[in-house]
Amino acid sequence: MADDTKIRGVGVLGCGLMGSGIAQVCAQAGYRTVVREVDQARVEGGLGRIEQFLENGVARKKLTAEARDSTMGRLSGSTSVDALADCDLIIEAIVENVDAKRAVFSEVEAVVGPDTVFCSNTSSVCITELAAATRRPDKFAGLHFFSPVPIMNLVEVIRGLTTTDDTYRRVFDFAGSLGKQPVTAPDRPGFIVNRLLIPYLLSAVKAFESGCGTLEDMDTAMTLGCGHPMGPFTLLDFVGLDTTYYIANIMFEEFRDAAYAPPPLLKRMVLAGRLGRKSGHGFYQY
């Protein structure tokens, strides 16, 4: 008899910075993977980024040309949720906005089977709230990857109030099957890593605004002084200023703690479209 609980096909919602990385590692681990984006240009842009990363990996002798080709062979993209109908697991990685996430899960729920497990890669939205908006709150969990997904080894696995032990174990084991190290994190905004990282990044912006130093000097200070791989402004541009701003707002709303309050400069940069690397201009120009 076929094992109904086995994950064979994975659907990834969103193929931006995170969705493309998540789709890549799923396909590399042998899962048939379908991404869904809002338009064809974004489908092609996301799949193109994956192909480029794999190509660079071959050039660096990190993977073979055969592994690159078989990974790309397991990947496909669409603008329609119908393409996700056969998926056993859905991983949502769209904009950090609760209404948009609820809406996309409701679209997917109309086409997938009742046993399909839903996960969100949200950084800060309440997992229990997203689960409650579906007809499968027992089969819903948080699965939080780190950027760049193919390189960073950690995945936080989050149990909502309604997540069953069985769903939790399947999602935890799935993260392990990608070659990642899963850790259990609480259903509180920011989970573990962002609970600590976001106040640090926000405090860097506040310190810059109050004249602490130049962007370059502050970045150099944290890389050379603390051994961080990136200084705070390089990392902010890398994560995305919009995403950081949305996360900070959600964390502030939940905790009512000034450490999570987005600084005025961050808000204005997002309003001006200076989103970091993805828009070509953030604290630095690219």
Would you please indicate which residues are annotated as catalytic (active-site) residues? 123, 144, 156, 194
The smaller minimum CB distance to ligand CAA, of residues 95 and 152, is found at: 152
If one asks whether residue 240 binds ligand NAD (CB under 6 A), the answer comes out as yes
Of 160, 243, 269, 270, which one interacts with ligand NAD (CB under 6 A)? 243
Question: Which position has the token pair 């309050």?
Answer: 261
If one asks whether residue 150 binds ligand NAD (CB under 6 A), the answer comes out as no
E strand or H helix at 80:
none
Give the total residue count for the chain. 286
Indicate the DSSP class of residue 279: G
Query: First CA to last CA across the chain, in angstroms?
Result: 54
The smaller minimum CB distance to ligand NAD, of residues 41 and 224, is found at: 41
- Residue 50 class from Cβ within 10 Å (0-12 exposed, 13-18 middle, 19+ buried)? buried
The smaller minimum CB distance to ligand NAD, of residues 32 and 36, is found at: 36
The rounded distance, in Å, linking the Cα atoms of 93 and 284 is 25
Contact call for residues 232 and 221 (beta carbons, < 8 A): no
57-86 mask for ligand CAA (x: CB under 6 A)? x--x-x------------------------
Name which of ligand NAD, ligand CAA, none residue 229 binds, using a CB cut-off of 5 to 8 Å depending on partner kind.
Answer: ligand CAA
**Per-position b or e across 90-101, b if 16+ CB within 10 A of its CB:** bbbbbebebeeb
User: C-beta of 21: minimal distance to ligand NAD in Å?
Assistant: 8
Site for ligand NAD, rule CB under 6 A: 13-19, 36-38, 42, 93-96, 100, 104, 121-123, 144-145, 147, 239-240, 243, 247, 278
